[in-house]
Structure 1
Amino acid sequence: MQLHHFYASELADLCSPVHPLAVARPRVAMRNLDLAKSLGIDGDALGDEHLLAMLFSVSKQGALRSVAQKYGGHQFGHWNPQLGDGRGLLLGEIVTPQNTLCDLHLKGAGPTPYSRHADGRAVLRSTVREYIGSEALHALGIPSSRSLCLIASEEPVMREKLEPGAMMIRTCPSHIRFGHFEYFHYSNEKTKLDSLFEFCFEHHFSHLKDSHNPHLGMLTEIVQNTATLIAHWQAYGFNHGVMNTDNMSIHGITFDYGPYAFLDDFIPNYICNHSDHSGRYAFDQQPSIALWNLNALAHGFSQYVEIEDLKAALSEFEPLFIETYQRLMHKRLGLGTTINDNTQHCIHEFTQMLRDEFADYHIPFRALSEHLPDVIAGKEGAFTRVFEQHERASNWARQYGALLHHKPANGPRIDIHNMQQDMLGCNPKYVLRNHHLQKAIVAAEQNDFSVCERLLDAVSHPFETNATFAEFAQPPHANEKGIALSCSS
């Protein structure tokens, strides 16, 4: 594995050199060999002997130019310049077989100049959640950072209580956040902001370098990628929980997992973060908050782009979000690619049923996919049983079937088999629910990672029915629903 240090070398004034601080009796408890292979990393490099020596051996660390990045961010709407990598280190970058750049970032690495008197550690609980969560979103086709390996330890970490500590190495195109641009803009460090942009154009937006206005092109692309990301979150019922601008990636990927949750019951204003007292980051607020964050980011571009052009770039968010969300929902319900009043009404009525009876958000989509031939044939009983209001669900199913049968005079007939396969391929059987995650965490805290591995295997293949994963297809009991988590990790 050849590790490069482009950020550390080219943006040395924007970061601080820090070596990882060893933990007590570390061991690699989980490793993502499929991801490693796709990145051109030999699986042996993730073994205990090689990896732990690279991270913690004094003789090896001389070649490891790890750095903590400096940035700021709007946290719950309030500007905070006192941020940065407080517990994570950019180990370096690798060039993948696809000739793209990929960061290797160690989370839980110990104190940095930006730790603000904290210990710089991560607890096993939150590390397991990020490790499995990022892979689950990736498997659903939702852009995300990814998990390369998890390092368990016997070192206790104090949060609300004493918990086992852990580390993980995550990967993504870069760890550059909205907050990077905000910080160097608000601190009036124009030279450093220039350097940050130059780095981005050299390594991440090289296709824009020679455009008429590369800064405008970059902002526009970030707006578009963020709109697409949030549409996926909303279509699949994912609540991030802490959409501060320092948790927003310029690559339009899900980033910095904290108290996230997939919805259980469809409660649009669901809040997964119990520290979010005002509901700023509730599920149904995510699109508007994403646009708010993009407006905050745009300030960092204001010295390079005219105000009217900034507004034009930001104005692309809403229509693209709506179009992408509609396209995803059409796909999930098998309504094809043509968006019209009838198909939109069908989707609205379906989600309204979920909303009115607080139905499980995921099971009805999968049930419709599995029982599609019966629904189209007018035998919708198996599908309607997932709802409490059977008659209402039956009426919707009849209207749905009629809509599918209504084709132009010489239009193609419905290919039910292909349609069903398409729906089964985008409506998950296995969703990463918090009650399943909690069971995996409890086992891991007893040094048993087998439940984590099984859960990870299930949500990494979310569309494939597998009897050995039957437990992970089960919704939570009433006392397991709506688990709210804090930002502490």
Structure 2
Amino acid sequence: MRYQNTYVNLDTRLYHEQLPTALDNPRAGHFNTQVAQQLGWSEDDDLMTRWVDILGGQYVPAEFQPLAMAYAGHQFGQWAGQLGDGRGLLMAQVLDSNNQPQDLHLKGAGLTPYSRMGDGRAVLRSTIREYLCGHALTQLGIPSSNALGFVVSDTRVRRERIEAGAALMRVADSHIRLGHIEWIASFAPDLLAEFTDYMIDTYYPECRDSEKPVLAFLTAVVERTARMIADWQLIGFAHGVMNTDNLSITGSTLDFGPFGFMERFNPAWINNHSDHTGRYAYQNQPAIGHWNLNAWLPHFMRLEGVTREALADCLAPYEATFMQHYQQGLCCKLGLPHESDSLRLAFEWLTLLEDNLLDYTNSFRALLGLVAPSAHPYEQQLLVTMTAELNDEATQVWQAWSTRYVAQIQQLPLEQVINEMTGNNPVYILRNSMAQRAITAAEQGQFEEVNRVFELLAKPYHVQDIATDLDIAPPLPHTPQEPISCSS
């Protein structure tokens, strides 16, 4: 690997150097060969041979320089003060095969000075969920952290019950969060200029060509964040805990806790069982992204030449960027051009899904069975299943809508329509039930289901023989999609 350990060269108030605390008898859970190749990990015999020991904290290569980051944040809209890596360590930074920086972060590495009341560990169920979700989002084409692999161990960890301790080597283009700046503003304001330069030079070097590099950087963060959240909305993903310490400066999905993929379409769906007010409900994510950025940007007024008016200009593109990306993506999911008639059809379609609690992923994919039934027998069956759930009144709405939709489609080249629809509507998402079956088997020492789900999610836009009916089955109608616990 091509190491580029630069964070360790910053002011020592920003982190605490330490080794991981080894897990007892770590054992292989799953290894991501694609990520290993991307990093250059697979070209190093020592890393390949000892990857379980490395993830288990029993062996630290000489080139690694482990450290726990300090950061702060707003959690559920309230200032939470100092937070930081309470169970994870930034083990190394490298340049990947595309010459892009990547952080290797070991989650479940033991106590750090920032652990607060925690034990510094991660349990197997949350580790598997994060491992599969990062993989799923990456293969769906959504910017996200991914993972090199995970291990399970004999270390016992207490949550609601005693569980097996595990560790995950998370790989992300950056682990710098909005909360890093919040920490600096509160505890080390003299570091703001230096740290801002570091963020620009490391992650946004193109902004150096701007007349005002800092403002160009801030605008770029705003726009990347808006596009990421638009991608979430389009695929039906809910992060569940969009605190400022869980948003990356690079606009990549980070920190999977109580996440979920939308099944039956309910925009007010809350997937975090601790989110009693619905702050982080699926439909609120775009507004919360704006709220977080609005809380983050004022700290930069400490820098020379950065005014409140300039920061307002940096934040201003958020809504337009989000709406452009979301609306264009929504039209692509229907195979239609981005224009007013297409958007009208799209929002009527979402209303039909919501009013009848239809499955979000299956219903969009089922439209291929309407557009090109002979070429898409799988999607034609999805269409039959979907329409069978409609009552008489809803059937009339569907028939009227589908007639207008097909009329629009017939004005376009069919091959183009099919390519748009197949490339923007996955067959498979990581449903809660799918993840739970993999977790249940893994807790019994069987990781075959983790591997099968991993392989299924590697090609989410293609119908696959290894799939089962359970992989596409939503909860029963009017059965709430269960929220996920934060304990991990």
TM-score tier, shorter chain, comes to: over 0.9
Residue 312 of structure 1: how far off its partner (Å): 1.1
1:237-248 paired onto structure 2 within 5 Å: 237-248=236-247
Query: Does residue 391 of structure 1 match 2:401?
Result: no
Matched residues in 2 for 1:32 and 1:433: separation? 20
Closer/same/farther in 2, CA of residues 434 and 55 from structure 1, 3 Å limit: closer
Q: Distance in 2 between matches of 1:4 and 1:110?
A: 24
Residues in 2 aligned to 1:112 and 1:263: alpha-carbon distance in whole angstroms? 35
Q: What amino acid maps onto 1:130 in structure 2?
A: E
Q: TM-score, normalised by structure 2?
A: 0.93
Match of residue 319 from structure 1: 320
1:404 maps to 2:403: no
How far apart in 2 are the matches of 1:200 and 1:335? 39
**In structure 2, the residue corresponding to 1:425 is in which secondary structure?**
helix
Task: For residues 203-226 of structure 1, give each alpha carbon's deviation from its aligned partner in whole angstroms, at most 9, with x where no partner exists.
Answer: 112222242211111110000000
Going from structure 1 to structure 2, the CA distance change for 1:399 and 1:37 (only over 3 Å counts) comes to same
Distance 1:419 1:485, change over 3 A: same
Q: Which residue matches 1:23? A: 23
The structure-2 alpha-carbon separation of the partners of 1:30 and 1:447, relative to structure 1 and needing over 3 Å to count, comes to: same
Residue 283 (structure 1) aligns with: 282
Measure, in 1, the Cα distance between the counterparts of 2:121 and 2:479: 28
**Structure 1: distance between partners of 2:145 and 2:86:** 18
Structure 2 partner of 1:167:
167
For residues 281 and 54 of structure 1, the distance between their equivalents in structure 2, rounded to whole angstroms, comes to: 32
C-alpha separation in 2, matches of 1:228 and 1:396: 29
Question: What does residue 267 of structure 2 align with?
Answer: 268
SS at 1:253 equivalent: coil
CA 1:119–1:480: 2 relative to 1, 3 Å: farther
Deviation per CA, 1:87-106: give whole Å up to 9, x if none.
01000101122222110000
CA distance in 1, matches of 2:154, 2:307: 54
Q: Which moved more, 1:309-318 or 1:475-484?
A: 475-484
Counterpart in the other structure of 2:434: 436
Q: Residue 139 of structure 1 contacts residue 461 of structure 1 at CA under 8 Å; is this kept in 2? A: yes
How many percent of aligned residue pairs carry the same amino acid?
A: 38
Counterpart position of 2:183:
183
Q: Distance in 1 between matches of 2:15 and 2:174?
A: 14
Residues 370 and 424 in structure 1, CA contact (< 8 A), matched pair in contact too: no
Distance in 2 of aligned mates of 1:54 and 1:160: 25
Residues of 2 paired with 1:460 and 1:50: CA distance? 22
**Do residues 114 (structure 1) and 114 (structure 2) align?**
yes
Residue segments in structure 1 that go unaligned for 5+ positions in a row? 408-413
Secondary structure at 1:469's aligned position in 2? coil
Give the SS at the match of 2:156. strand
Mapping 1:295-444, distance limit 5 Å? 295-304=294-303, 305-336=306-337, 338-340=338-340, 342-374=341-373, 383=383, 385-387=385-387, 388=390, 389-405=394-410, 407=411, 414-444=412-442
Residue 461 of structure 1 pairs with residue 462 of structure 2? no
Amino acid at match of 1:458: L
SS of the aligned residue for 1:148 comes to: strand
Answer yes or no: is the 8 Å Cα contact 1:31–1:46 preserved in 2.
no
The Cα of 1:54 is off from its aligned counterpart by 8.2
Structure 1-normalised TM-score?
Answer: 0.92
- Structure 2 CA distance, aligned partners of 1:475 and 1:467? 19
Mapped to 2, the partners of 1:48 and 1:484 lie a distance apart of 39
Q: Match of 1:123?
A: 123
**Aligned residue number for residue 473 of structure 2:** 474
* Whole-angstrom distance in 1 between the partners of 2:459 and 2:164: 29
Shift of the 246–4 alpha-carbon distance from structure 1 to 2, 3 Å rule, reads same
Residue pair 1:19, 1:61 contacting (<8 A) in 2 also: no
After superposition, where does 1:127-276 map in structure 2 within 5 Å?
A: 127-187=127-187, 189-276=188-275
Q: Deviations over 1:102-161 (max 9, x none)?
A: 100000000000001321000111000000001101111111001111011111110111
More displaced stretch, 133-142 vs 299-308: 299-308
State the Cα deviation string for residues 315-335 of structure 1 (Å, max 9, x = none): 110111111100001000000
Partners of 1:9 and 1:74 in 2: CA distance: 27
Stretch of structure 1 that moved more, 471-480 or 295-304: 471-480
- Tell me the residue number matched to 1:411: none
**Letter of the aligned partner of 1:113 in structure 2?**
P
CA drift at 1:53: 5.3
- Alignment partners' CA distance in 2, 1:37 and 1:381: 38
